[in-house]
Structures are given as C-alpha cells and as structure tokens.
Amino acid sequence: MKNCIENTKKTDKSFFQLIRKSDEGNFNLRVGKIINSKGYELPTPSFIPVATNASIRALDSKKIIELGIKGIFVNTYHMHLAPGEDYVEEAGGLHKFMNYQGVIFTDSGGFQAFSLGQAIVDGVGKIVSIFSKEGKRRNKNEEKFAEIKEDKIIFKSHLDGKIIELTPEKSIMIQQKLGSDILMVLDECTSPLSSYEYTKKAMERSKKWAKICLEYFKQTTKGDQFLYGIIQGGYHYDLRKDSAEFICSLDFDGIAIGGSLGTSKENIKEILSWVLPYIPENKPRHLLGIGSIQEIFTAVENGMDTFDCVIPTRYARTGTVFVKTPPSFVKDITAKYYNGYETKRYHKPVDENCNCYTCQNYTVSYLHHLFYVGEISAMTLLTIHNLNFYNNLLADIRKSIIEGRYLEFKKNFFQI
C-alpha cells in the first residue's frame, strides 16, 4: 500500500473526483468517479458501452440499469439523423427520452466523418483491424458518405441521401439539445493509413475546431454539461505532443484521446505515454473507441478513466462470448464444439461461475440453438453476458487498485 496516496482533488464543478492513485508496477493507476449534474455517479475506470441510437442494441434501458451500467456512449450523428435533436430536447433530453439514469457521453459526429469517409476507402478502423470481425473490408470504389472541409464536415445521410453540414458550433448545439452529460469537441479522426502530412493537417484543423467548440460552449452552456477536448495526431510523437500541449492548455472539463492509434494494439501504450504528461491530473481522461480485454488493461495502466467500444456488444451479436480463459478470453457459441464438447450437447451455462442473468437461467446448448434458428433473444442474452463480464472486470480492477493488489489481480486474470 506504500505506493498509494489518498487524493480528493476536485475540479471547480466537482464533476470529477480522483479517489486514489497508485504507481504499483510503475503504472499510472487511478480510481475516481464522475458525477453528472443530476447526481448520477460513474465509478472510474469504467468501460462505457456504445448505445449508437440511444439504445444498446438488443437491450432496453431498464436492462442496462439492472446490469449496473453507469455510463453509455451515444452517437450524435445518428441522433441528428433520427429522430433529430429537436425531438429529443422536446422529450426532456436523452436521459428522459430513453429513461436512463446514468452518465451519458455523446461524440461530436467527427468519428462518423471518418467511418463513413476515409475508412471506407482504406477499409480500416481506428486500429487497422477493427472491422475484421464482421468482415467489412470494403472496395476502394465504394462511395464515401462524408467529406472534410476546412471549416466543416459534409455528410450524405446514409438513410435518405440528404446533405448535412456539421460545423464545430453545430456539433456542440446538437449535443446541448440532446442533453448528454459529457460532450466532445468536433475533431477529425484520421486513418492509420493517412500520411504524416495529412495527419498533421487534420490535427491542426482539429485544434482550430476545438477552440471554436470551447468558445461556443462557454457562451451557451447552462452549466449542467461538461465538454472534453480531444487529442489527435495519429501515431506520430511530435503531432501527439503538439496536440496534447494545445488541448490541455485550454479550459476543458475533461480530455479525450482520439484518432488513429497506430497499426497495432501495442502502439496504444506508446501514444498514451506521449500525451499523459500534458493532461492535468484533476481532469478525467477518455480513450475513444478502445475496448478489447488487453486494451482495457493498457488503458487503465496508462491513466485512462473511461473508454468506449462496440466490442462486447458487437461480439455478442455474432455469437462470441467472453470467458475467463486466456489468451483470447472469448468462445464462439455458434461453433460445433464448446469447451471440447459438442455445443448442441453442452447443457451448462456459458460460464458456471458467472453471476449474470443469462448464465443463471440458460445453457450453451439452448443459446446455440437460438442463434442457429435466428431468434432475437439470442443477441439479448449474449449481450447481457458480455456486458456483465466487462462490468465485473472493471469493478475487480478498481477494487484491486484501491487494495494495492493490481499486479496480483492481473497475474491471476491472465494466469501467468
């Protein structure tokens, strides 16, 4: 415990409280909590599941609450297209609209400019392989749905082909109307395959947009929302440093790290080590779009407080379940064999030690059958299990940091 120090430093708004930090294993570990203006608390570090259209696919909000999920990540671009921010505002904001009592993050729409634009051309994600799971590698001749200009992003709606212009101010305005707790500045996420010159140009543009967003936010905020600046710069030391220095010098409530995180998962650690020295200790940090098991440990060890990703929910929808078996920590429920047995004859839960609703009530043979015949409940049940797995993992990580036995926990988890 000698490496742990108590720290109750708060930002002026008490939006984030750092409860404990530890340098166990020479890592940069921290436990804290985010408290929104409604008083809902999100313990950190926490994994934030993606609820693109104000819904975690296959689950309703009550189920999300029951699972103990205290924070979700909603996509601004999708909510702008449907139902539109004016309708959400009229409904009383996202919390009331979806009846979710927790901390809601919204992105700026910038990532969609990437995923609907250059990612289609390059056939990549934030790290090159992210789309491989669902086999979405695309043809270079495929149509792009987004274009970046110096002062805005121009989208072509994938729903009806309508042209949408997103400026920094408009992105903030939409997020204000949506009524999320944590807003992100408009930024440009570059492809891991982008050149150094292009990544630099995009980073400079993101800096300009960040400043415009902050000024607009300050003039218009009612004080019940919090704005994060985003560090960009791809996998380039000087660009990350430049972006981190600039973004962290501004008066943001929190700091996010976005953009391309290199061509391998190992690069993430390096990028975080470049930017961390610039981020004030009392500000919460969010790592955008990261969430494999190994990446979570990397993020936690490098001072990140929250991270969002589609992995556990997307995997669930394709029949992949998380289990405490290294090195992959996943099993395929649609495969012919499970734990060495014929899956159709495996009349036991996904994990006999799991406390989730799915494992308490259903067997692998039944889930396998539901997937085989295409029942919707299969996706719901696997999503519950996977999110419960992630939630328990983060709760265990927080506890181990507080009790000064993070290294021991990690060793046991990876069985090394």
Q: Which is nearer to Zn ion, 171 or 391 (CB)?
A: 391
**364 lies in the site for Zn ion, by CB under 5 A:** no
**Catalytic site residue from 187, 253, 305, 308:** 308
Q: Which is nearer to Zn ion, 131 or 329 (CB)?
A: 329
Q: How far is CA 60 from CA 49, 68, 354, 380, in A?
A: 13, 13, 21, 10
Find the shortest distance in angstroms from Cβ 413 to Zn ion: 17
Find the shortest distance in angstroms from Cβ 358 to Zn ion: 5
Q: Which is nearer to Zn ion, 236 or 317 (CB)?
A: 317
Stretch that binds Zn ion, among 94-102, 274-282, 339-347, 350-358 (CB under 5 A): 350-358
**354 lies in the site for Zn ion, by CB under 5 A:** yes
**288 lies in the site for Zn ion, by CB under 5 A:** no
CA 172 to CA 174: how far, in whole Å? 5
Q: Residue 171 has which token pair?
A: 């992105």
Find the shortest distance in angstroms from Cβ 312 to Zn ion: 12
Find the shortest distance in angstroms from Cβ 326 to Zn ion: 18
Angle at 356 between CA 351 and CA 362, to 5 degrees: 65
Stretch that binds Zn ion, among 138-146, 175-183, 257-265, 355-363 (CB under 5 A): 355-363
Q: Residue 329 has which token pair?
A: 């920590």
Q: How far is CA 252 from CA 42, 231, 246, 274, 285, in A?
A: 19, 12, 11, 19, 11
Q: Which is nearer to Zn ion, 97 or 338 (CB)?
A: 338
CA 252 to CA 134: how far, in whole Å? 36
Stretch that binds Zn ion, among 109-117, 241-249, 301-309, 377-385 (CB under 5 A): 377-385
Q: Which is nearer to Zn ion, 183 or 354 (CB)?
A: 354
Angle at 406 between CA 401 and CA 408, to 5 degrees: 150
Stretch that binds Zn ion, among 75-83, 176-184, 275-283, 348-356 (CB under 5 A): 348-356
Q: Which of 385, 390, 393, 401 binds Zn ion (CB under 5 A)?
A: 385
CA 38 to CA 102: how far, in whole Å? 9
Find the shortest distance in angstroms from Cβ 353 to Zn ion: 9
Q: Which is nearer to Zn ion, 198 or 366 (CB)?
A: 366
CA 286 to CA 46: how far, in whole Å? 10
Q: Which is nearer to Zn ion, 282 or 363 (CB)?
A: 363
**Helix%, strand%, coil% for the chain, nearest 5:** 40, 20, 40
Residues in the chain: 416
Find the shortest distance in angstroms from Cβ 203 to Zn ion: 42
Query: Is 308 an annotated catalytic residue?
Result: yes
Stretch that binds Zn ion, among 47-55, 80-88, 279-287, 356-364 (CB under 5 A): 356-364
Stretch that binds Zn ion, among 163-171, 257-265, 357-365, 408-416 (CB under 5 A): 357-365
Give the number of other Cβ atoms within 10 Å of residue 5's Cβ.
10
CA 321 to CA 383: how far, in whole Å? 8
Nearest to 68 by CA among 402, 400, 401, 388: 388
Q: How far is CA 163 from CA 44, 152, 255, in A?
A: 39, 13, 31
Binding residues with Zn ion: total (CB under 5 A): 5
Find the shortest distance in angstroms from Cβ 383 to Zn ion: 11
Query: Is 23 an annotated catalytic residue?
Result: no
CA 320 to CA 301: how far, in whole Å? 26
**359 lies in the site for Zn ion, by CB under 5 A:** yes
- Show the binding pattern over residues 308-347: x = contacts Zn ion (CB under 5 A), - = does not: ----------------------------------------
DSSP 3-state of 184: strand
Please give the residues from 176 up to 215 whose contact with Zn ion meets the rule CB under 5 A: none
**356 lies in the site for Zn ion, by CB under 5 A:** yes
**18 lies in the site for Zn ion, by CB under 5 A:** no
DSSP calls for 131-142: TGGGT----TTS
CA 22 to CA 115: how far, in whole Å? 36
Find the shortest distance in angstroms from Cβ 316 to Zn ion: 11
- By annotation, the residues acting in catalysis are 107, 308
* Sites of contact with Zn ion (CB under 5 A): 354, 356, 358-359, 385
